[in-house]
Amino acid sequence: MVAISSCSALLSIASHYCQNRSSLNHARTGSHSRIWSPGRASGAQPSFPSTIYTAGVHPAGQTGGSQVPWRNLRAGDLLLFGVTAAELAVLVVLTPSFTLVDWVYVLQHVMVLAIALTRPAPAAQDHSVPTSAAVAVAYTYPYAQVIYLQRGPGSPAWPAGGLVLVIVAAFLSLASLSALGKRFGVRPALRGLATGGPYRLVRHPMYLAYVIGDVGYNLQEWNPGTLAIVVIGWASLVYRIVAEELVLAQDPGWPAYVSRVRYRLVPGLW
């Protein structure tokens, strides 16, 4: 779900195909596109030359309207809607029976469908190639784990503990999406600053949900291949966090928020 890469991060289908392993939460569409300051064309400049488009400033430097053109906004929104709808359809068709976690993910997909049709245009957005690659990796690595396990089954480590972590991740992701609301998106963008709910604890709680979910799924079933895929996926999340904060730094409330919430992903660590 773009986002809901992300998110993120998302289907629980593999739980019925690979010894209760899920598709890891709505495809990692959960990105923290959290800043919305209409017409803002100044502030801290991210280090992505020619790839951050700011409302009112076109790439060539000419001034324009106070928002991104409607057709550009709709293209991104329709893409988010289409991808989310496809994921939801796959989840419904391929899941024989729904667990609590499955229903949480269904709810998140429905929320993202509504967000895609109602969210505002971003004041600025990162279109850089590295960020695009990181988004693509974040989208695909959960499914890569599922495919890998279908070809070479893994071993259970601690299924009961893994299930607990998966449930925690699902509800943390839901709470994060609820706090983001219409600020939600895939690419780093300025649509407003979310500071409530889980965002009082860390600056990127949705990505934390992905990490917790990854650990939980691998406790249920893992092998060296899935661990390698997870490491690659986590690297993409770290890159996305850095890229997003470069864009979010343009919001005037960002410095105060950073001073209140020191940690990006893991309390006490980073």
| Domain assignments of the chain as residue spans, ordered by start | 13-260
Task: Judge contact between 95 and 221, C-beta under 8 A.
Answer: no
How far is it, in rounded angstroms, from Cα 216 to Cα 221? 9
The confidence score (pLDDT) of residue 54 equals 52
Mean pLDDT of 130-143: 93
pLDDT top residue among 143 and 242: 242
Mean pLDDT of 231-257: 97
How far is it, in rounded angstroms, from Cα 238 to Cα 265? 9
DSSP code for 14: G
The confidence score (pLDDT) of residue 169 equals 97
Task: Judge contact between 145 and 230, C-beta under 8 A.
Answer: yes
Task: Judge contact between 28 and 108, C-beta under 8 A.
Answer: no
**Percentage, residues of the chain above pLDDT 90:** 60
8: Cα within 13 Å, side-chain hemisphere = 37
The confidence score (pLDDT) of residue 264 equals 97
Digit-coded pLDDT (tens) for 172-190:
999 999 999 999 998 899 8
Digit-coded pLDDT (tens) for 192-210:
999 999 999 999 999 999 9
How far is it, in rounded angstroms, from Cα 168 to Cα 213? 8
Mean pLDDT of 71-81: 75
Checking if the pLDDT of 15 tops 70, the result is no
Mean pLDDT of 41-64: 39
110 burial level (CB within 10 Å; 0-12, 13-18, 19+)? middle
The confidence score (pLDDT) of residue 166 equals 96
- Bridge partners, 11 (sequence order): 23
